[in-house]
Structure 1
Amino acid sequence: MSHPARSSRDRSRTLSHVGRGRRPFLAGLLAVALAATGATAGCGGDSADAGTDNGKLLVGYQRFGGLSLVKARAAAPDATWSLFESGPALTEALKAGAIDIGQVGEAPPVFAAAGKIKFRIIGTSEPVPQGEAVLVKEAKGFRSFADLAGKTIALNKGSNVNWLLVRLLEAHHMTLSDVNVKYLKPAEARPAFDNDQVDAWIIWDPYFALAEQPGVKILADATGLASNREYILVSPEALERKPDQIRKFLETYRSTTDWGIANPQERTTILAPELKIDESTAARALARSAKPLAPVTPEIGAELQAIADGFTELKLVPGKVDMLSLVDDQFNGVLR
């Protein structure tokens, strides 16, 4: 989707199309705060080991993200797992040294870098634009995102959906001041949405799929606006101390992801208990959101840099953030 050129004054009120016509649309995820949301360490019996090295690779994951299948299949027995509700919480764990490697969306790396958290970006995924969306109640009669002017929109700080909000505002010639944004974690936003305490909820899978109940309408997704990729982050210390373990883990991550895409029914059966959702909901979410891994190329670095520059322009991050220097392609051969 392209838009007419705007004056510098207009661009300061909303986000410009950086790199228009020169690279794929920027990916989903963003935030307005460097502070992380709460994290839940471990999953079941894993919590006792979370943050304890013991020579193992410490892996941070989010429920439903690509790493969930690796964990559910017990495909990486030499890993210690920690579960996080969102990307910002995971990047804070990287900062604290509680994990070596983890998977997030595209905005958390930008805000983590702005917050001086040390990490490298060693992998990504193919775009997942249909995996995040704006949900509204059909009874409210909203027909397009423009109808949300003056309304209250719930979303999670520091996540892909915050970037999608900015992109949607730009597409409809609106600014952040045109809507009332209420920053809520998914566990808080769902009841607020169900009880009509907010007019819209911008959310990602599997929370997205879980909220697709009778009377709920998808007002828009990220198609044509945001790539909504996953990114694999690793601490510099782990890169130095555990390169062979990282490579082996990435090989497992890649092969497991490929297996899941080739075997969707088996993937759903395995993942539904891990995700704690029913199989039909899991299948719907996975069908649109599970994508292959991909190497980090100069074009991927440019996408991230453009997002960072856009948020700098909006004064949502303090000053220039250099994302290109954080891209490390030494494992690209595993991910091609």
Structure 2
Amino acid sequence: MRRVIALLGILALVGNLTACGGGEAKADKEQLRVGYQRFGGQSLLKARGLAENATWSLFESGPALTEAFKAGAIDIGQTGEAPPIFAAAGGTKFKIIATSEPVPKGEAVLVKEDRGFTSFKDLKGKKVALNKGSNVNWLLVKLLEANDMKITDIQVQYLKPAEARPAFDNDQVDAWIIWDPYFSLAERPGVKVLADATGLANNREYLLVSPEALKNKPDLVRAYLKVYREVTDWGIANPEERVKILAPELKISEDVARRALARSAQPLAPVDATIGDELQQIANGFTELALIPGKVDVKSLVDPAFSDVLK
């Protein structure tokens, strides 16, 4: 009887594993574990279901996504310009294999119109919310530099988007530095853009891949990058169809998606020495301000091995 009970238990366990894996064929197939944020080309790719052999993990921000790299939970993922630098400073291993054209209008400083702020200098002594280690962290550095201010001239409030939005709405902070689509979601009567990244930061997207995936799954990485590029190009050529597909995926209205995509969706681009220099300049700036511990050689993390897919 004990043998019969044990055998039934094993059969039940096998049945459960097969159900979770979606069948024997899928369980046997190697998967590329993709980390994505709820916006951009990767969300479009997921929504269209064109990435074969991909499993998806959603993250609220770039810093959260790079933490998943550190934990070995994902193979590939997309972030802004600052998260890779903070991650590298923390010892996370990865390579940067692709970027995008600049997206300077895709991040901005938002304020309430009735507060009377007309320039970033007006925020001296005020509470400014942003996500630490994200792309807007570099925008803050450049805004302070452009206005001859120091970081101690403002009261920085490091808040994740889900925390910053209610703080901004309820006037617990005076300004919010944020990126799309959160930027577009926050735009409404009474809210204005005090400044965006135009002339200050390129605000590119970067595609990161783990060393293990580069070694063990290079064909999957190449195939994913190829279809990612094709879907991104399709979306730019078909903006209205892109909006209708992405709005339900992003759980936002079509008008919000249309506004965000119009300014923030850019073609993918290969990485090269120039991109490495751009990232290194940002890393050096963070080091000088003691926002990261010591110097980080981020330029050495740029890997052009897949650039032929993006030309």
TM-score (norm. length: structure 2):
0.90
- List structure 1 segments (4+ residues) > 2 angstroms apart after TM superposition: none
Does residue 146 of the first structure (1) align with residue 145 of the second (2)? no
Return the offset for 1:306. Answer: 0.7
List per-residue Cα deviations over 1:278-320 (Å, max 9, x = no partner).
0011000000000000000110000001111111111111111
Does residue 208 of the first structure (1) align with residue 183 of the second (2)? yes
Q: Is the 8 A contact 1:58 1:99 kept in 2?
A: yes
Helix, strand or coil for the counterpart of 2:305? coil
Does residue 280 of the first structure (1) align with residue 261 of the second (2)? no
Using the aligned pairs only, state the percent identity: 74
Q: Which of 88, 92, 95 pairs up with 2:70?
A: 95
Helix, strand or coil for the counterpart of 2:200? coil
Partner of 1:4: none
Helix, strand or coil for the counterpart of 1:330? helix
Question: Larger Rg: 1 or 2?
Answer: 2
> 1:322-333 residue pairs with structure 2 within 5 A?
322-333=297-308
User: Which residue identity does 1:299 align to in structure 2?
Assistant: T
Partner of 1:58: 33
Q: Which of 170, 175, 179 pairs up with 2:150?
A: 175
Q: Is the 8 A contact 2:33 2:76 kept in 1?
A: yes
Does residue 104 of the first structure (1) align with residue 79 of the second (2)? yes
CA distance in 1, matches of 2:255, 2:293: 43
Does residue 240 of the first structure (1) align with residue 215 of the second (2)? yes
Q: What value does the CA root-mean-square deviation take over the aligned residues?
A: 1.3
Q: Is the 8 A contact 1:65 1:103 kept in 2?
A: no
List per-residue Cα deviations over 1:21-49 (Å, max 9, x = no partner).
xxxxxxxxxxxxxxxxxxxxxxxxxxx88
CA distance in 1, matches of 2:41, 2:52: 17
Higher helix share: 2
Return the offset for 1:137. Answer: 0.3
User: Which residue identity does 2:109 align to in structure 1?
Assistant: V
**Which blocks of at least 5 consecutive residues in structure 1 are unaligned?**
1-47
Helix, strand or coil for the counterpart of 1:331? helix
User: Which residue identity does 1:152 align to in structure 2?
Assistant: K
List per-residue Cα deviations over 1:149-198 (Å, max 9, x = no partner).
00000111110111111110110000000000111111111111111110
CA distance in 2, matches of 1:143, 1:124: 33
> 1:126-275 residue pairs with structure 2 within 5 A?
126-275=101-250
State how many pairs are aligned: 287
Q: Is the 8 A contact 2:29 2:53 kept in 1?
A: no
CA distance in 2, matches of 1:239, 1:152: 42
CA distance in 2, matches of 1:178, 1:104: 28
Helix, strand or coil for the counterpart of 1:280? helix
Q: Is the 8 A contact 1:161 1:204 kept in 2?
A: yes
**Which blocks of at least 5 consecutive residues in structure 2 are unaligned?**
1-19, 22-26
User: Which residue identity does 2:291 align to in structure 1?
Assistant: L
Partner of 1:8: none
TM-score (norm. length: structure 1):
0.84
